[in-house]
Chain A
């Protein structure tokens, strides 16, 4: 059930080179504790993989389950519009216990996100992008958060650093063989 994963596009939040042999896409929710657990692991994996990995984060806010998930996602869209997405992403996962509007507003100030940009985000300016992530993910088989896709295929295996690096290494090796020089 991994068909139709939306291809990486201009609205995606991307870290790493476009021509990396492996693309790891995470569907995540900023308030989800399991995403919080995965955050430092994925950081370490990115570091270990270096330029061989392109990491993409997509929103999958479980808004009924998590009261702050939508606001947090809106905040990161405001950050993306201000060129500081990854700093915002990291800040939220490092402060999952403080995702209320006051905290988000304070983080925005720290990151230099203009107040009007944040307000517009809170008023729904980027909700279509968030919804596009959510629906695209659901149709591609996202069944909870975090949900990982490696080169377009859902990964249901263990999410510890070593396991992930091994599977990404294998995906990189396969991709590098497949791609003509």
Chain B
């Protein structure tokens, strides 16, 4: 077994470890820190590149899953080594309603700290982390690069978090994503 604390081994960070804080550009003029999201669960989804050409696209799927993630109070953040303008175009084209962070300079530094960098290709791995409200990793998963890992592992991990008080059903996720999404219309 490799020591997950030794960054040189590139081992994926494991449950129980503190999630390393970071600050990355979310848009050309805004930055987001992991610590900004403290107080609620966070899903970190590292992925190799924007513009995956299929309907099975992982970020597109997670975009559709946002109401389910929000039901657990969780925030989703995507991270790749693409730059902010690339992310902006991708997010607009795919109508993504969650932040994509640019792990662009120094390239892949955050991915490396999470053991989720693929040095031979210069991209982030397809790696998932569920971090609890206190900033501790509660679940992590490294997917084969070519295989969309889906959302089931994330949903299971969120279910397994110690339940936090849930918002009343009636005003559950107050997100603009719901307006156009079937999940808002279940009354």
A: residues with CB less than 8 A from B are 1, 4, 29, 32-35, 61-65, 70, 124, 127-128, 130-131, 134-135, 138-145, 147, 156
Contacts and interface: CB of A to CB of B under 8 A. Distances in A.
A70 B183 CA distance: 11
Contact of B95 (A65, A127, A141, A143): A65
Contact of B60 (A4, A65, A140): A65
Contact of A64 (B60, B149, B155): B60
Contacts of B153: 1
Given A62-B60, A64-B64, A138 B181 contact: no
B64 A62 contact: yes
B147 interface: yes
Given A143-B150, A144-B56, A144-B61, A64 B177 contact: yes
Contacts, number: 85
Interface residues of B, number: 32
Contact of B186 (A34, A61, A131, A140): A131
Contacts of B54: 34, 144
Interface string B43-57: 000000000001111
A32 B186 contact: no
A143 B182 contact: no
Contacts of B119: none
A31 to B, nearest CB: 9
Contacts of A4: 152
5 contacts: A138-B61, A138-B151, A139-B152, A144-B54, A156-B147
A134 B182 CA distance: 10
B75 interface: no
A162 B97 CA distance: 40
Nearest to B155: A139
Contact of A1 (B60, B61, B152, B181): B152
Contacts of B152: 1, 4, 138-141
A29 B181 CA distance: 14
